[in-house]
Amino acid sequence: MFDQRMLLMHGFSLGELRRELIERLGLRQTRELFTRLGYQQGWEDYQSCRNEFGGDEQAVETMLLLGPRMRDIEGFVRTQPLRVEIDLEANRFHLEFTWTDSWEAAAHINHRGVGPIPACWMNTGYASGYLTALFGQPFLVRELECLATGHHRCRILGKPLSEWEDIGEDAAFFQSDKLVSLPSLRSTQSASNTGPTPATAPEEHGLVGASAGFNAVVYLLKRVADTDATVLFLGESGVGKEQFARALHRIGPRADHPFVAVNCAGIPQELVEAELFGVEKGAFTGATASRPGRFERADGGTLFLDEIGSLPFAAQGKLLRALQEREIERVGGTTVQPVDVRIVAATNEDLRQAAIDGHFRTDLFHRLNVFPIEIPPLRERREDIPLLFHVFVERFSLRYKKSVQGVTRAALDALWNYDWPGNVRELENMVERSVILSDAGQPIDRHHLFSGGERLSNEPLSVSPMGHLIGKQAHAASRPEVQNLADTLLEQAGSMQAIETVLLNRALERNDGNVSAAARELGLGRGQMQYRLDKRRR
């Protein structure tokens, strides 16, 4: 389906797996596992539907129906709308559905009978993931009635996460572990006039994510947290290596001791050793007093060495000795001091290749590469974009005391299409810019986000800092022959509707009636093309 492999398996086999997991892990952990699995399925199904049918505002109603239809085709549950209210401009939603023939409810009753806990965990996770992707903000779907609790049907309610007063355990798919921060439950529409406080401001160093890539990193953090092993974070610039390093420190046995971060690229080469190991008074011109280095300040805690690949070659040898001997000597000093620190390093370079090329000490590389953790770039974990976007909007709404009401479909579509070369840091900066540029009480639009010269590789247009359209089609549209063609169309066709009809019909003729091929030629998804054709027939 959608050029992706689909696996058919017997429902009773999956039911037996579910039963065994409950017996081995318990109800709570199994529920969290199945909910996250469903969330991933819902997200992927939405992406497939969006690629096929488009993601513009006109397609929202179609996309809302496709998710339940796909779940029915896949054999999980049949869905009927009960009450569906969507106001995109006001950012208000009330999505209430009934479920019948639920595989999960039947499997649960078969193994455990009727009880107090709703059982459609994978289905609620699926609906939450699908709606989160569709509307570009964290959505929570809660099962209000379930066959497994003695009701005659299953009934669900879906709303933005910020509109639920108490999510309890229902948002397990957002939080694979306690070290992962849940997106805030407060609505971004009510920014405080008094500014953020420690009790209300979103956590600056919290981890937020629900993607498979994100959860894989969290799993590795948990495995290594209780040890003193050296950890090397790998990944592109802006993926959040320092945030993960801080999280590692918080959940480890050194949490009550200092976390000291140093950017190796930001220290002048002649001062690197003094910064790391400290300096004695009179060691060099300007050293008017003795002062401890980063190793001493981090004693008992964690020393985070960011951009370790930029460390001068001479300093690499002294760092290696400090790691091996667990002792340092200040610049200009004569005594050796023992230090007890955990080393966590990070780089966006290929240190192995740098060692082969002779730019980085091979022995230091192997000393640092004890437990490498690679953080995937944001473009490979797009499931995290709505969650991060929500957190950043709330953070900057509080900081700048401005209410922001949701995000437009155009902006959401642009967020999906962007390649994110600057990763999470770039998203954070763009959200800050958009909160500043947007009007109070209005949604964030595309031009608020993409006003810094960013180019959307899968979109025909982008916006320059001066507000000009840029991109391949913008350049093509400015050519004289294209302008002359536009004049002819306006003179002879006379209206936008007539021009669109001409283009649609001609594209179909050029492609022998093949709707998909015609859609590709016009730069549309097949669903968008079909929507326009159906509109002409009505």
Q: Is 223 left (phi over 0), alpha (psi -120 to 50) or beta?
A: alpha
**Can you give the pLDDT at residue 271?**
85
pLDDT at 186: 42
Compute the distance between CA of residue 321 and CA of residue 325 in angstroms, rounded to an integer.
Answer: 6
Closest CA to 111 of 27, 8, 38: 27
Radius of gyration of the chain (CA): 28
User: Which pLDDT value is given to residue 290?
Assistant: 80
pTM: 0.75
State the pLDDT at residue 62.
82
Count of Cβ atoms closer than 10 Å to residue 397 Cβ: 25
Residue 172: what pLDDT? 63
Q: Write out residues in the chain with pLDDT < 70, as ranges.
A: 1-4, 54-58, 171-179, 181-205, 282-288, 457-479, 525-527, 538
Taking 3-state DSSP, the helix, strand and coil percentages for the chain, each rounded to the nearest 5, stand at: 50, 15, 35
What integer pLDDT is reported at residue 479 of this predicted model?
65
Please give the mean pLDDT across all residues of the chain: 84
pLDDT one-digit tens code per residue, 482-514: 777 888 878 787 788 888 888 888 899 998 888
| Nearest CA among 117, 132, 120, 110 for reference residue 39 | 132
DSSP-derived secondary structure for 333-366: --S-EE---EEEEEESS-HHHHHHTTSS-HHHHH
287 CB contacts (<8 Å, ≥6 apart)? 274, 279, 280, 281, 331, 332
- Its sign, for the CA torsion 432, 436, 440, 442, is negative
pLDDT of residue 264: 92
Contacts of 497 (CB under 8 A, 6+ apart): none
* 394, two tokens: 């709330």
At 420-470, the pLDDT tens digits run: 999 999 999 999 999 999 998 888 999 999 988 887 755 444 444 444 444
Q: For residue 203, what is the DSSP state?
A: P
Instruction: Please say whether the beta carbons of 161 and 171 come within 8 A.
Output: yes
Question: Taking Cα atoms as reference points, which of 261, 372, 368, 361 lies closest to residue 315?
Answer: 361
